[in-house]
Structure 1
Amino acid sequence: MNESLGVLLAVLVGSLAVTVLARKLRVSPPLVLVVVFLGVSFVPGMPEVRLDPDLVLPLVLAPLLYSAGLQSSPRRLRENLRPIGLLAVGLVLFTAFAVGFTASWFLPGLPLASGLVLGAIVAPPDAVAAASIGRRLGLQRRVMAILEGESLLNDASALTLLRIFLAAAGVGAVTPSVWVGLGEFLLTAVGGIAVGAAIGWLVHRVRLRLNDAIMESALGLLIPFATYVLAEDFTGPVHASGVLAVVVAGLYLGHKSSESTFASRLQDQAVWAGLDTVLEAFVFALIGLQLAPVVNELRAGLGTVLLAAVAVLVATVLARIVWVFPMTYAFRLVPRIRAHEPRRPPWRVPAIISWSGMRGVVTLAAAFAVPDDVPGRDVIIFLAFAVTVGTLLLHGLTLPWLIRRLRVYDTGQQSDALAEAAAKQAAAEAAITRLDEVAGDGTPDHITTQLRSWAEQRANGAWERLGRPTEEVGEAPTATFSRLRRQMLAAERETFVRFRDQGRLEDGVFVEMLREIDHEEAMLDR
């Protein structure tokens, strides 16, 4: 037990070290992690680190999806529901059958039912790597919304489909017909949505009454794990989707976060940013470490399986391309849809979406969850690993070049800045009006003057960013204010440190005074 914990701790520390190096070199951390730990898996004496799906899905996938839900926009998901649904459900089904028939064709000894199990396993892309590349390069926001929405929903459809195909392969109750399978799929999805919405609503009501940022943040850390377990294990015969429940709870609570206190919002952002970094680094390190155990367990002829791996990888990549391009334009033949979306998407948009199909931890966790009595289990695991690593390297190494080449950049910065400036101007006017209402005759003039100045400064700073570059017109007034105020805060901080070191200030008092300066500096940085 202690040895296992030591190995996991070493993997975690090593993955964070590699992530730091990758960020300094400005390369995609997931790709570097996979390559580095692929090599580590073959180091003599390296203990085997197995992916346990019973732990990976609730302890790693659930918090990552919950965090993504917190940061996602329900409005943008609703606006792009059709393309997201076509990818998260339609493409998952299409890929599963394309890969299933391909695997059975190249491996005659592999039953079609087992091929379809493999298809369901490799069907859902993991957009963590693609989204990190897109954010770094300023990928068009609608494309980002579609990719992130797909990654939130496709895991649920793929895992439900896997359950149905496992039944067809002879594991568990046999699915009598396609319609029964479709009914099970819908019940699982509806159950997951209902559980997630109920938990989100309940937790939001509880958090509003807590009024304690630390306890709210502590409760937030438990939500993804509890939601996943409740949906998967305590919903009776429906067997609701834990993945979908976690996503819905995250979307609801993220949308309602504006009703929480500022302290809980700031604390949640910091906590989840750190946890995301740790989990993502650990996940991609685990993916790399699986190669040696997978190869050791492979009992079929390696040459035949390698050929099948190439064929399955090609089928997986081509299935996404073949699906995305027609589906992007086919629905525009419907007059109502064409009237609602008069602008035809340029071909560069489906090109980027179709080349963002990197697989991740869900694929490998699902592969290792396949029961031992499924025919060709060792081949399924090896092919799933080949698709995961192949798509990560193929798409991950070429996607940045493709985005730059096709120039699918976000062009809405100017309109965003204009909207921000208009909103801040209206907010400043509302703030000053409220000040006039609540400030009594006895309020000192210098206080009301300073408060008016702060409100006007926030609005002016937004308008200044719409002007010409600093190189042309010199430093803006708000920039001058921020620069000078930072220097003043630095002097205050140095003084507090000196008083603490001289024993003239208790450590507890010092921490509180330092926090005040940190909050003001964070506001200036924003």
Structure 2
Amino acid sequence: MRWLCVAVDLYIIAPVLIGGALIAKLAERYRLPYPIPLILAGMILAQMMPLGEIYGEVVGLDLIAQLTLAAVLFYAGLTMNVRELRFSLSSVLLLATLGVLITSIVAGVTILMFSAIGLVAYLIGAILSPTDPAALFSVLESGGVHIKRKILSILEGEAVFNDATAVVLVITVFTPFVIPELTVPLPVVFLEFILSMVVGVIIGLGVAYSIGHIINRAGEDTMVSILTATTPILAYGLGELFAPFGLHPGALASVFAGMFMANARHIGVRPLPQKSMRGAMKNVSFAFEIVVFILLGATVDLNFIVASEGILVLGLVTSALVILLARPVAVFLVTAHDRAMTWKGRFFVSWAGVKGVASAALAAISVSAITSYQIPDYVEIGRMINAIVFIVLMVSLVVQGFTTPFLAKWLGLVEHIDAARELTAQRDATRQALLHLVDMYTEGKIDSQLYSRLKAELEEEIFQLEDELRRLISEKRARLRELEVREEILRAKLEFFKKQYEAGRLDDSAFERQRKDLEAEIEEVITRKNTLAQGGA
């Protein structure tokens, strides 16, 4: 009958995914970081059914976490804007390597100063080192806040690389600190860390090259979607085959597989159907994120947090230390060389390091590794890690998620230019360059090999510009529609007060007060609508 129980349990997965998608959509509409309601939904579901146990028995929490990391990191690499990244590459790479290490150590040392949890402090610091600006960007975009390109490229690039680096750091370096059975000499740990990164790049290149050629031959959109969705799993899985040798390059393999496939021409592969690939991976990675955040809420032991003396306090203290000390120290140190970056930019990057899916997944992987030894002390450590990471994530999402849009405006880091008009000009200029290239080839001024290579580059650039343009236009239309509806609602309220006044149910002073307030609100909405229609922010 075991198979029947599992089959019944599996029926829960579909409602969880559907409900999670609806919750995330509502959060986006009301400008909330979507992980918050998903985690709360998981906590509510945990009171109704043993959701964590169901997933743990059927699939395994650590496996779900690893699949999530593979999908999210691959999608991040696939959608990374390499052209924009060039202008902030040094800062991004330093933040993703030295910055992650500094954040882990500073957080670990400070947590250790305020607690007696030993080397577990460094593991928690490493788990909390990656950033996850995806939820933050959704709030910024839904609110019509477009931060300056350099800052945006740093946050996007850092999120891609530092998540992968943090995975290697947590699994290869800091988990052995907590589990004596896995302890190896420090020089060996350092060598494993470097080799994990090198092997990750090599595997990512090999997977991208192989799957890229297969996709080009497949042709059909269905096959393209299937091949794209399985690529991160293949890259991550191949990387983890090196685990017996102490290497964990799976996360980096996923990132670089995505980056190489997004820039296929540079690895000797014909340009790939980026639109179909990105569409497929967006849905896959989002589905995994829904599951991870709901499971985080479902598996957190609230009774343990409340009953254990000092855990809640330690979680809040850790939140303050990570947000206000560890992250700013890392950002200001590693970006000190960048003279083009102002203190306002550094401060914003420090504050915008919201914690999210990477930290949740890393906590699940670490706790699974620790508790697998079935030692009571290890089980207690696992519960403590889960509790602290949960508290820090919630504090980060609430405090940083809600305040960052206002901080961007206050620091003057919002772009007020018409981004859509600028992108249109860039696209038209690139199209003109493509036409000129065709003329040169037709007139015999360039050979076919050079023509094919340059043509592929220009066509890919046009696709990226049009993809970004479609996104901006869609956002603009949504914001205009929202303002139109707001105006209609305010006019309906004003009309109601007029009827109440004419019927003698409101005196002159009350009606005038309501009329002036509503007319002022209507005027403000009309001004915002006209500004937006003319290309303003």
Change (3 A) 1:366 1:426: closer
Preserved contact between residue 46 and residue 52 of structure 2 (Cα < 8 Å): no
Question: Aligned residue for 1:11?
Answer: 16
Preserved contact between residue 354 and residue 400 of structure 2 (Cα < 8 Å): yes
Question: Aligned residue for 2:287?
Answer: 278
Question: Aligned residue for 1:361?
Answer: 357
Preserved contact between residue 37 and residue 288 of structure 1 (Cα < 8 Å): yes
- Structure 1 segment 473-512 matched on structure 2, within 5 A: none
Q: Provide the C-alpha distance between the structure 1 equivalents of 2:69 and 2:234, rounded to a whole number of angstroms.
A: 13
Preserved contact between residue 31 and residue 392 of structure 1 (Cα < 8 Å): yes
The one-letter amino acid of 1:194's match is I
Root-mean-square deviation over aligned CA pairs? 3.1
Question: Aligned residue for 1:513?
Answer: none
Question: Aligned residue for 1:254?
Answer: 262
Change (3 A) 1:417 1:55: same
Question: Aligned residue for 2:427?
Answer: 420
Question: Aligned residue for 1:60?
Answer: 68
- Measure how far apart 1:381 and its partner are: 1.8
Does residue 185 of structure 2 align to residue 189 of structure 1? Answer: no
Preserved contact between residue 211 and residue 261 of structure 1 (Cα < 8 Å): no
Q: Provide the C-alpha distance between the structure 1 equivalents of 2:229 and 2:361, rounded to a whole number of angstroms.
A: 22
Residue by residue over 1:418-452, the C-alpha shift from the partner in whole angstroms, topping out at 9 and shown as x without a partner, is 33332233445666888999xxxxxxxxxxxxxxx
Change (3 A) 1:399 1:32: farther
Question: Aligned residue for 2:177?
Answer: 168
Preserved contact between residue 108 and residue 121 of structure 2 (Cα < 8 Å): yes
Question: Aligned residue for 1:205?
Answer: 213
TM-score normalised by L of structure 1: 0.72
Change (3 A) 1:104 1:427: closer
Unpaired stretches in structure 2, ≥5 consecutive residues: 1-5, 445-461, 470-537
Q: 1:404 aligns with which of 385, 404, 409?
A: 409
Change (3 A) 1:435 1:63: same
Change (3 A) 1:168 1:366: same
Q: Provide the C-alpha distance between the structure 1 equivalents of 2:94 and 2:442, rounded to a whole number of angstroms.
A: 50
- Measure how far apart 1:65 and its partner are: 1.5
Q: Provide the C-alpha distance between the structure 1 equivalents of 2:181 and 2:226, rounded to a whole number of angstroms.
A: 38
- Measure how far apart 1:13 and its partner are: 1.6
Q: 1:153 aligns with which of 152, 161, 184?
A: 161
The residue matched to 2:309 in structure 1 has which SS? Answer: helix
The one-letter amino acid of 1:422's match is A
- Structure 1 segment 248-327 matched on structure 2, within 5 A: 248-256=256-264, 264-291=273-300, 294-297=301-304, 302-318=308-324, 319-327=326-334
Q: Provide the C-alpha distance between the structure 2 equivalents of 1:132 and 1:415, rounded to a whole number of angstroms.
A: 22
Q: Provide the C-alpha distance between the structure 2 equivalents of 1:311 and 1:27, rounded to a whole number of angstroms.
A: 24
Q: Provide the C-alpha distance between the structure 1 equivalents of 2:177 and 2:34, rounded to a whole number of angstroms.
A: 38
The one-letter amino acid of 2:190's match is L
The number of residue pairs the alignment matches comes to: 421
- Structure 1 segment 23-172 matched on structure 2, within 5 A: 23-38=28-43, 40-41=44-45, 43-45=47-49, 47-48=51-52, 52-108=60-116, 110-111=117-118, 113-136=119-142, 137-162=145-170, 163-172=172-181
Residue by residue over 1:220-239, the C-alpha shift from the partner in whole angstroms, topping out at 9 and shown as x without a partner, is 22111111011112576252
The one-letter amino acid of 1:360's match is G
Q: 2:395 aligns with which of 378, 390, 404?
A: 390
Change (3 A) 1:44 1:427: closer
Q: Provide the C-alpha distance between the structure 1 equivalents of 2:231 and 2:104, rounded to a whole number of angstroms.
A: 31
- Measure how far apart 1:104 and its partner are: 2.7
Unpaired stretches in structure 1, ≥5 consecutive residues: 333-337, 339-343, 438-457, 466-526
The one-letter amino acid of 1:308's match is L
Q: Provide the C-alpha distance between the structure 2 equivalents of 1:176 and 1:345, rounded to a whole number of angstroms.
A: 39
Q: Provide the C-alpha distance between the structure 1 equivalents of 2:330 and 2:72, rounded to a whole number of angstroms.
A: 27
Preserved contact between residue 130 and residue 163 of structure 2 (Cα < 8 Å): yes
Change (3 A) 1:183 1:412: farther
Percent identical pairs in the alignment equals 26
Q: Provide the C-alpha distance between the structure 2 equivalents of 1:84 and 1:193, rounded to a whole number of angstroms.
A: 17
- Measure how far apart 1:279 and its partner are: 3.2
The residue matched to 1:21 in structure 2 has which SS? Answer: helix
TM-score normalised by L of structure 2: 0.70
Change (3 A) 1:416 1:362: closer
